[in-house]
Amino acid sequence: MKHRIAILIPYFGAWPAWINFFVESCRWNRDVDWFLFSDNDPPDNRCSNVRHVRLSIADHNSLVSEALDIRFTPPDAYKLCDVRPALPFVHRSLLADYDFVGFGDLDVIYGDVRSFYDDATLDIYDLLSTHADRVSGHLCLMRNEERMITAFKQIRGWRRLFTQEQHAGTDERGFYNVFRGRGAKLASRLGRDGPRCLFREAYSTPAAGADMRWCWKDGRLTNEFYPHHPFMYLHFMNWHSNRWYGEQPGYSADSAAPWTRLSQLAQIDWKSARRSGFSISPAGILPLDEPAAAG
Per-residue pLDDT of the chain (295 residues; tens, 9 = 90+): 789 999 999 999 999 999 999 999 999 999 999 999 999 999 999 999 999 999 999 999 999 999 999 999 999 999 999 999 999 999 999 999 999 999 999 999 999 999 999 999 999 999 999 999 999 999 999 999 999 999 999 999 999 999 999 999 999 999 999 998 766 766 655 556 789 999 999 999 998 877 889 999 999 999 998 888 999 999 999 999 998 887 788 888 888 999 999 999 999 999 999 999 999 999 999 999 865 554 4
Same domain, 177 and 43: yes
Residue 121 falls within a domain, yes or no? Answer: yes
- Does residue 178 contact residue 185 with C-beta atoms inside 8 Å? yes
Does any domain span residue 93?
A: yes
Which structural domain, as residue segments, surrounds residue 55?
5-199
12 shares its domain with 129:
yes
pTM of the predicted protein model: 0.93
Tally of domains within the chain: 2
Residues 64 and 185 placed together within one structural domain of the fold: yes
Is 21 in the same domain as 134? Answer: yes
The amino acid sitting at 121 is T
Residue 225 shares a structural domain with residue 280 = yes
The answer to whether residue 41 is domain-embedded is yes
Classify residue 291: in a domain, yes or no: no
Cα 11 to Cα 41: distance, rounded to the nearest angstrom: 12
The pLDDT tens digits of the residues spanning 58-109 come to 999 999 999 999 999 999 999 999 999 999 999 999 999 999 999 999 999 9
pLDDT at 277: 97
CB 8 within 8 A of CB 91: yes
Q: Are residues 136 and 172 in the same domain?
A: yes
Cβ partners under 8 Å of residue 89, min gap 6: 67, 68, 149, 150, 152
Residue 208 domain-assigned (yes or no) = no
Domain membership of residue 207 (yes or no) is no
* Domain closes at, from 165, 199, 233: 199
Q: CATH number of the domain that 56 lies in?
A: 3.90.550
Residue 131 and residue 56: Cα distance in Å, rounded? 32
